[in-house]
Amino acid sequence: MNAPATPELPVVVIGAGPVGLAAAVHLIDQGSEPLVLEAGPTAGAAVREWSHVRLFSTWGEVVDPAAEKLLAPTGWTRPDPATYPSGGDWADHYLQPLADVLGDRVRLGARVTGVSRAGRDRTVDAERERQPFVVHVNRADGREERILARAVIDASGTWATPSPAGGSGLPALGERAAADRIGYRVPDLDDPVVRARYAGRRTAVLGSGASAFTALAHLADLAESGDGEGAKGVWILRRGISGSTFGGGEADQLPARGALGLAAKAAVDKGHVDAVTGFRTEAIERDADGRLILVGEDGRRLDAVDEVLVLTGFRPDLSFVDELRLGLDDRLRAPVALAPLIDPNQHSCGTVYPHGHRELSHPEQGVYLVGMKSYGRAPTFLAMTGYEQVRSVAAAITGDLDAADRVELTLPETGVCGGAGLFDTPGAQQPDGDGGGCCGS
């Protein structure tokens, strides 16, 4: 196939989450036609999988301004900008209405299985940039489809690819075989079926971020409830416990984040959670009763647990963009120009300045990874950052470099790193309106 790329072809956007839908809106503003391909059955399908989790950020910080303008003629009004949506609220009251307005530009049940240049695999140079992109799609009914595109914006996120339990970055030996007792998300303990799985049982929690804090706090609440007596958490840390393990506490400029760390600390202090430090999981074995035993790289064997929650972060799925010439950092798997700005060894999300098409570009011109996926394995991301990314990228695709290079976002000084809040917990401290925006659980 030797069809040259033309402006008449659509820009394919992969993923109908918050950033993917915002990308479509900004493309329309720039006079370019988007086609959003969503693998799930609804817009915001991944967000709906953590519908029970409440965001750190307010409604005022998770609605894209251009999207709000597109929605306004329909009678849509943004919920109270000072309140905090759950994932379900965000999907029901913003993402779905936005997808409805975009109409046929959003195709559901359309899983992208590959992206390349038409007639050119990644090894071929000849006239490469003159060829359109070709996007292979599997539909929910089993049909396969081939779509030509002038550019591709991959906003598919990282939710579907959680990191494993193994300390080496690979699944622990026996991890796959023990899948029936291992979870990779914060469980919804308000669901009676899920609650029964953890009530009165011993659960190992791997991870040291906000998701782990949330799980520990919820397990402690379960232990103190009438139907959860005997629930016990075992917190598995690869490092030791120091003054910064639980975050800034009451001194944190973001009260929600501080409250979350304090709740996890209280779970340990009250004896609902035992901490195991310096432990890197090498294997997961079953005992005679079917319970799980975690084995460390140093040979330690922990007492058996009934369930394991692996909350060690997420990573991007790059398999379907492997035929493209991407420039990715070796460590984070983020675009090479962006990686130094988001290195978790140096930055929190509040110290990453707004960035756009130049930091997100690749040797393969016309393809952009945006949103959570652009951060690779870096654990922090702001919804507002994603909206600014796609505003810049949409302008660059249509040739408006002045707009693409212009910064139209001022981030909060500290930002909010990805994670779940404790707003549903009675008495939990609520953050003020300066909290910043979080996009994820």
Give the integer Cα–Cα distance in Å for 393 and 388. Answer: 9
pLDDT of residue 298: 95
State whether residue 229 is helix, strand or coil. Answer: coil
Tokens (6 digits) for 91: 């999907």
pLDDT of residue 388: 95
pLDDT at 421 over 70: no
Give the integer Cα–Cα distance in Å for 338 and 364. Answer: 16
Q: How many beta carbons lie within 10 A of that of residue 89, not counting itself?
A: 19
- Mean pLDDT lowest among 3-7, 35-39, 86-90, 226-230: 3-7
389 or 228: which carries more pLDDT confidence? Answer: 389
Residue-by-residue DSSP string for 110-129: EEEEEEEETTB-TT--TTGG
Mean pLDDT throughout 333-350?
82
Give the integer Cα–Cα distance in Å for 190 and 430. Answer: 20
Mean pLDDT throughout 10-29?
98
The full length of the chain comes to 441
- Indicate the average pLDDT of the chain: 87
Give the integer Cα–Cα distance in Å for 350 and 172. Answer: 33
Give the integer Cα–Cα distance in Å for 125 and 20. Answer: 30
The pLDDT tens digits for 158-213 are 999 999 999 999 999 999 999 999 999 999 999 999 999 999 999 999 998 888 88
E strands, 26-156, in order: 34-37, 106-107, 110-117, 133-139, 144-149, 151-154
- Mean pLDDT lowest among 22-31, 362-371, 374-383, 405-414: 405-414
pLDDT of residue 433: 30
pLDDT of residue 179: 97
E strands, 342-435, in order: 367-369
Mean pLDDT throughout 391-402?
96
Q: How many beta carbons lie within 10 A of that of residue 249, not counting itself?
A: 16
User: Percent of the chain at pLDDT above 70?
Assistant: 86
37: pLDDT confidence band, cut at 50, 70 and 90? very high
Mode of pairing for the β-strands spanning 34-37 and 106-107: parallel
pLDDT of residue 376: 96
pTM of the model: 0.88
